[in-house]
Structure formats: structure tokens, C-alpha cells
Structure 1
Amino acid sequence: MSKGLVFINQLQLNYTSDMEKAMRGSHGVGYAMYCQKHDVRMKVEKKRQAEYMQSQRMLANFERKLHS
């Protein structure tokens, strides 16, 4: 390790070229950047969480309309 450098939680992920394309298309970054940069990873994960929450609200709304 180089003097004065500290590496924290570097992810070791196996991914395919299709996964790389999807990551770039959805988030504008590749897996290498996602793995290396904590701030990029956090931005991607916050976006994923927001999209998940939105989908859950849409599903609940749909189910509520379906059963009323």
C-alpha cells in the first residue's frame, strides 16, 4: 500500500457487458467507477431507493383502486 493512502470497502463485483450497458444507461457510470467511488455508489443507491419507493407507492395505489 502506498504511503498515506487508505482504501475502504472496495467492492469486488463480477459483471457482464450487458450489466455494464444497463448501469451506464440508467446511471451514467460504469461498474468500475461505481466500485471505486463511494460518492458515486451512494448517488446510484439513493436513486435506486427512490425508484423502488415510487414503484411501491404506484403498486399500492393500483391495488387500492383494484379492490375498491
Structure 2
Amino acid sequence: MMENKRRDGFIISDNGLDLTYTSDMEKAMHQAHGIGYAEYASDIDKIIEVEQKRELSHQKNHKMVAELNKQVHK
């Protein structure tokens, strides 16, 4: 039986993540988050932590771009 865990808007099944990644992606994951894709894919808490950081970064960048666009179009 497949179990789903829901935390803070994420649903992750217990069958793990099937990820395909390059060595450059692995290096970037280590630099940005201090873990590799194998650890990321096998630990639900790590997935949630990384994805929350990514979402926060995306929101901050989106706000910054919107502010710059407002300044440019004054």
C-alpha cells in the first residue's frame, strides 16, 4: 500500500523520487544545499527543506524583478 505524507503543501509518496541528474546538477545541489541528489531523493524532510528554500528564493526574486520593473517604467 502506498502511503502519502503531506507537509506544508507538499505530497510525497513513499516510493521515493525517480531523479535523473548530471554531474553539474549534483555539484550545484551540494553547493546550494549541502546534500547530493541521492540523499535528497531518499529523505522526505530534506526534500521539503530544499523545496521550501527554493520557493522562498523564487518569491524574493519575483518581488525584486517587480520592483525593478516599477522603477524602470516610472
TM-score (norm 2): 0.80
How well do the aligned residues superpose, as a CA RMSD in angstroms?
1.1
Structure 2: where are the runs of 5+ without partners? 1-12
Report how far residue 9 of structure 1 moved: 3.6
Give the share of equivalent positions with the same residue, in percent. 42
Q: Where does residue 13 of structure 1 map in the other structure?
A: 19
Question: Which structure's residues are more often strand, by fraction?
Answer: 2
Question: Which structure's residues are more often helix, by fraction?
Answer: 1
Separation in 2 of the partners of 1:55 and 1:9?
33
TM-score (norm 1): 0.87
Structure 1 counterpart of 2:51, which letter?
A: E
Structure 1: where are the runs of 5+ without partners? 1-6
Off by >4 Å, runs of 4+ in structure 1: none
Aligned residues: 62
1:31-66 deviations in Å (ceiling 9; x for gaps): 001100000000000000000000000000000000
